[in-house]
Structure 1
Amino acid sequence: MIPPLDLTLTPTEAVRALERALRDGLDPETAPPRTGVPVPAGELLLMPAAAGRYAGVKVAGVAPGNPALGLPRITGAYLLLDGPTLRPLALFDGAALTALRTPAVTALALDRLAAPVASHLVLFGAGPQAHGHLAALAGIRPLRRVTVVARRPGPAAALVDRARALGLDARAGGPDAVADADLVVCCTTARTPLFDGRLVPDRAAVAAIGSHEPDAREVDTALVGRSALWVEARAVLAEAGDLLAAFAENGPLPLANLSELVTGAAVVPVDRPRLFKGVGMAWQDLAVAAAQYELHGGGSPGPGPDGLRAEAGET
């Protein structure tokens, strides 16, 4: 029997696991691609990765009709394997892993893209990812204010209450709140832009992580056109609808990836907004799952030089 493990990593520990993987040489451009298969309930995703001492695979379901049934939109399981032998090591709840690693990826990016004194977060969405992003960003940034922008008053109020419990000045607001934002995070199921990108200040850093679909977008062409652009990897641009739609209108623009951001290989400008588009990649699940496994006492060393290294493309 493969032991199921709970995810007890803090959001900040998940951020550091991702950072270590990239600093130790993992190249997101060589990571295996995600496979998506349409099914009647939505989409099934298969996300394999291998790096150093570990391999793993996430089988995830995206079921848009689930929330109406009181069920999570994202389902699935993650199987962590011993890299050299492919022997199963541990099983994790796939939805819980996604809810932990996605905010950690955003926090890793925004921690470097945001101004040092950035303190006002405008957060679009009020679901599990919004709650996860609030926790992750509050753990690594000097936040003081949070404005929640959401369609439903009840979930928005719950997220405001959670932000206040963290000691933050929090309230619900509208899309125009981006005009006074230092950080903007979009984690919604929107298919069309959520706000007017012309309102975003030059000082702001923005993350759009709500979809991995080429025909869905949370930010508009105006924001893309005036921003410095960052992605997890150029190899996943085909899933980045926010960028694809803008490029189709005005032509492609230069991109830098998350590894270049973390290692300092790409310069972060300060004279315009910085936009990070995330779609989720399998190496991120592996980095966080391996860190959790080793925290549990299942292995050593951690995801450093002898753990997660540059062999992300091995399958």
Structure 2
Amino acid sequence: MRVVSAAEVERYLTWEGLIKRLHTTFVNGVESPPRHHHAMHRPDGEATMLLMPAWEPAGYIGVKMVNVFPQNAQHNIPAISGLYLLSEGKHGQPLACIDGSELTRRRTAAASALAAQALANEAAETLLVVGTGKLAPMVIEAHASIRPIKRVLVWGRNPEKASAIAEAYADRFDTQVVSDLQDAVVQADIVSCVTLSTEPLIKGEWLTPGTHVDLIGAFRPQMRETDAECLRRSVVFVDTYAGAKGEAGDILQAIDEGAFRFEDIKAELAEVLAGTKPGRRSAEAITLFKSVGASLEDLAAAIEVWEAINQ
């Protein structure tokens, strides 16, 4: 069995290849049971273990184990860590143990970029990244691979971390650290949120026509990055209906507040990509994509890594 390091994942998972692989996998589909979601009560706070299995009907089999420790931010350690076990489908024999953290970072950002291909305006040039964790750089790179991003605004609770991200990409984009989130949202063509917030950061009243809102961070019912008005004003899409119904805090809390209904979701990503339901229908529409992560994304990314290594 091959052990695949984070450096190899970074090397072999190109944005073009990964986004194309994700597109194919979403359209063709895989078997993907609901992920196992376990709260762990630790001495220094609550953590989460996620187990995410998926398999092709006649092909690869995979499962990811992820540990989420929000309290790691206090120690300058990534909040998310894990591994992915990929097996072949004929006899179920393990092929590779792949670094799960890098795989997750890249597939998560790539899934949002894939959605943005259908939902964001083609001329989108200004990207606002809300959050300064390990996903923030991935979001910048992924969106820039599918839209003509020229300007990147970075907002975070830690100004030093925001500055570090802005400086890292200053040679590729016009980057700026912002402190006024409302003003930054007004300026942005794409607003990408990658936080572990439990309180709304983006308000619907701030959104302007044509904006695409990309919500990545909140993956549990008690988490949210937007208020209910944000959903009410937007054309809402999700990565999967099942994930949204079980874990998308932005949606579930807006429903509890009586401002949104699950039936108001226009489509899941596979329907948009397959052409059975439309994506963006006008340049002025405000679109919103809520993802909580799907095991088919991990399987697609793991297959892409494995086949790139062995080509």
Shared fold (TM-score greater than 0.5)?
yes
Question: Does the Cα contact within 8 Å between 1:149 and 1:172 map onto a contact in 2?
Answer: yes
Q: Are residue 36 (structure 1) and residue 22 (structure 2) matched?
A: no
Displacement of 1:205 in angstroms is 0.6
Q: 1:156 aligns with which of 162, 166, 170?
A: 162
The equivalent residue for 1:225 is 232
Measure the CA separation in 2 of the matches of 1:34 and 1:160: 35
Q: 1:196 aligns with which of 186, 195, 203?
A: 203
Measure the CA separation in 1 of the matches of 2:132 and 2:89: 37
Measure the CA separation in 2 of the matches of 1:213 and 1:269: 30
Question: Does the Cα contact within 8 Å between 1:123 and 1:148 map onto a contact in 2?
Answer: yes
Measure the CA separation in 2 of the matches of 1:76 and 1:17: 22
Displacement of 1:165 in angstroms is 2.2
The equivalent residue for 2:305 is 292
Displacement of 1:266 in angstroms is 1.5
Measure the CA separation in 2 of the matches of 1:71 and 1:117: 36
The equivalent residue for 1:234 is 241
The equivalent residue for 2:95 is 89
Deviations, residues 288-313 of structure 1 (Å, cap 9, x unaligned): 10011001117xxxxxxxxxxxxxxx
Measure the CA separation in 2 of the matches of 1:190 and 1:18: 27
Question: Does the Cα contact within 8 Å between 2:119 and 2:212 map onto a contact in 1?
Answer: yes
Q: 2:174 aligns with which of 166, 169, 180?
A: 169
Q: Are residue 181 (structure 1) and residue 188 (structure 2) matched?
A: yes
Q: Are residue 275 (structure 1) and residue 276 (structure 2) matched?
A: no
State TM-score, norm by structure 1: 0.89
1:69–1:180 distance in 2 versus 1, CA, 3 Å: closer
Task: Kindly provide the amino acid, as one letter, of the partner of residue 21 in structure 1.
Answer: T
Displacement of 1:261 in angstroms is 1.6
State TM-score, norm by structure 2: 0.91
Displacement of 1:12 in angstroms is 2.7
Q: Are residue 11 (structure 1) and residue 10 (structure 2) matched?
A: no
Deviations, residues 253-312 of structure 1 (Å, cap 9, x unaligned): 2330011121222222324210000000111000010011001117xxxxxxxxxxxxxx
Paired positions, count: 293
Measure the CA separation in 2 of the matches of 1:93 and 1:186: 24
Displacement of 1:195 in angstroms is 2.4
Task: Kindly provide the amino acid, as one letter, of the partner of residue 248 in structure 1.
Answer: D
SS in 2 for 1:223: helix
Displacement of 1:70 in angstroms is 3.1
SS in 2 for 1:261: helix
Gaps spanning 5+ residues in structure 1: where? Answer: 299-315
SS in 2 for 1:53: coil
Displacement of 1:251 in angstroms is 3.9
Gaps spanning 5+ residues in structure 2: where? Answer: none
Higher RCO (C-alpha under 8 Å, 6+ residues apart): 1
Q: Are residue 245 (structure 1) and residue 259 (structure 2) matched?
A: no
Task: Kindly provide the amino acid, as one letter, of the partner of residue 137 in structure 1.
Answer: H
